[in-house]
Structure 1
């Protein structure tokens, strides 16, 4: 559609999709802040930050929703990567890049930090360290 591009200070663009396990993920029904990540299994910066994402999820995943969107990739490739890496957060296969185009992602990884009111608070393109992840999540409270 012709939704406006995501803008800090504005409501994050809505999406409704099934995750890799077949569970519905509806952005405006998620409770609390949301950390939305666009990534790809072939992207080295994405691969580098994946263990840190899982570490943050392990440490404080009850404080936020983590939704990882895999752009332009087949489901079996994503499933294989998730299994190999032992990732237990929510994964969405965006094989047609519908969500990525709604969010106007210019590259991967791209991080979108959304507060509990559904307002986009930060867009960060590029890899994050574990301490940067924690800082950005702290800022959502």
Structure 2
């Protein structure tokens, strides 16, 4: 029970520390699979940014539902591995099952796990919903439920089907 309480406290502290709703996205410069530079200014918005890791069982369980929302809404879902050991090859192989996701990869300027640090992400999955101005409207630490994610997309100005 004490371990569970400590874990809950760490999660709450992480949420308090992370980029919060109303704040702009931290600066980053990562590459999409085609080699195009993606930054907060160049990314399509509204959008969803998901920090994940290839070994994460919660991410594996969550991705099919997130992918379905991406398919239904046509909102870009940018996925960034916060695991330094997730190579380009590992990420691209993993993402074959999720063609609507846009994996963001290391560039000459940034590494994905460093970007996670700028967002102050302390675990995975962490999901940020971003409006057309590039401001965070919602944050989910852990699994993002379908209805809550759809509500956040509405807040971001997405017209749902």
- TM-score (norm: length of structure 1): 0.84
1:125 pairs, out of 141, 146, 154, with 141
1:110 correspondence with 2:126: yes
Q: Show the counterpart of 2:52.
A: 39
Q: What do the CA deviations read for 1:109-140 (whole angstroms, capped 9, x no partner)?
A: 00111111111222210012323321221221
Instruction: Decide which structure has the larger Cα Rg and report it.
Output: 2
Aligned residues: 135
Q: Structure 2 CA distance, aligned partners of 1:96 and 1:86?
A: 19
Q: Show the counterpart of 1:25.
A: 38
Q: Give the match's secondary structure for 1:8.
A: coil
5 and 60 in structure 1: CA distance in 2 versus 1, 3 angstrom threshold: closer
Deviation at 1:108, TM superposition (A): 0.2
121 and 26 in structure 1: CA distance in 2 versus 1, 3 angstrom threshold: same
Q: Output the aligned Cα RMSD.
A: 2.0
1:6 correspondence with 2:6: no
Give ranges in structure 2 of 5+ residues lacking alignment: 1-16
Q: Give the match's secondary structure for 1:113.
A: strand
8 Å contact kept, 2:130–2:156? yes
1:137 correspondence with 2:148: no
- TM-score (norm: length of structure 2): 0.75
Q: Show the counterpart of 2:80.
A: 69
User: Larger % of strand: which?
Assistant: 1
Give ranges in structure 1 of 5+ residues lacking alignment: none
